[in-house]
Amino acid sequence: MPLDTSTTYPLTKLRLDGRRWNELRLIQAQISTNPASSGSSYLSMGNTSIMCSVHGPAEGRRGDASGTAGGAGAIVEVDVNVAGFAGVDRKRRAGGSDKQSSRIATTLRSAFQSHLHTYLYPHSTISIHVSVLSADGSLLAAAINACTLALVDAGIPMPGLLTSCTAGMSGSASTPRDPRNDELDPLLDLSLPEEQELPVLTVGTTTCVPVGENNMDEEEGEMKVAVLTMDSKLHCTYLDTMLAVGIDGCNQIRELLEGVIKGSSRA
């Protein structure tokens, strides 16, 4: 058994993989990795690596009920596939998707459905395929980042980059904060062993909101939280700290992804 965060972090302020509390894992990304699709990307955050490809906007399938519903704008379809070899245990799935991947798919769909300028493509479908090659924590966050890159590669208009990151809280986060002891130990960008041990919050932010039919004009440079999910139990007094840490992480990631996009267009 290796050590765990809850015992060693308070002693050394170092996490299981040697990071400090506010450090991201190593992020590497490329776009246009798959010439056969409209847009594609490969992104790794630490040992979590994800391939994403985007097809469309294309004409909606005929006879599809959503074809009529999509009259106002494009429909975003997301399909998430976690490879059998992605986790620690090799899983052999008999087709279909499991609970985890369908939850990620749902979150991605609703995030990008509202984020993209879909009204530009009525009666059409944008389909996103996400393949998780290896899963080592912050899966949803990595998937959001990979999708953003692939959508940019596909040239689908969006108001800004939607980037995402996780934040956790070390210590006994299920009881209210002790008012006399104001020290908190938030952590940024959690790896799998940390995710299994601590409460995790996934935050996704974007630089501005879509100017859709609602015509909401917002000031440039203002940030909005677009995605916020958490599955674990946490006392509400810790939430704002975690949110702040997560948003800060999203900004760091945004700069990185912008670098990737600009770098690739120059090349």
> Rule CB under 8 A: which residues touch other proteins?
1-3, 7-8, 11-14, 16-23, 25-26, 28, 30, 33, 35, 42, 44, 46-47, 51, 88-89, 136, 172, 174-176, 178, 180, 182-186, 191, 193, 245
Burial of 9 (0-12, 13-18, 19+ CB in 10 A): buried
Q: Give me the residue label for tokens 């015992």.
A: 7
Cβ proximity to other proteins: between 116 and 169 the closer is 169
Q: How far apart are CA 261 and CA 37, in angstroms?
A: 17
Please give the span between the terminal C-alpha atoms of the chain, in angstroms, as a whole number.
46
Distance, in Å, from the CA atom of 52 to the CA atom of 104, rounded to the nearest integer, reads: 13
Question: In the complex, what is the shortest distance from the CB of residue 99 to other proteins, in angstroms, rounded to a whole number?
Answer: 21
Q: What is the DSSP string of 68-125?
A: HHTTSSPEEEEEEEE-TTSSSS-----SS--HHHHHHHHHHHHHHHHHS-GGGSTTEE
Nearer to other proteins among residue 12 and residue 68 (C-beta) = 12
Task: Give SS3 for 232.
Answer: coil
Our CB check for other proteins shows the closer of 44 and 205 to be 44
Please say which residue, 10 or 155, places its beta carbon nearer to other proteins: 10
In angstroms, give the least distance from the CB of 233 to other proteins: 9
Closest to other proteins by CB, 2 or 221: 2
Minimum Å gap between C-beta 162 and other proteins is 23
Compute the least distance from the CB of residue 172 to other proteins, in Å: 6
Least spacing, CB of residue 26 vs other proteins, in Å:
5
Pairing mode, strands 48-59 and 124-134: antiparallel
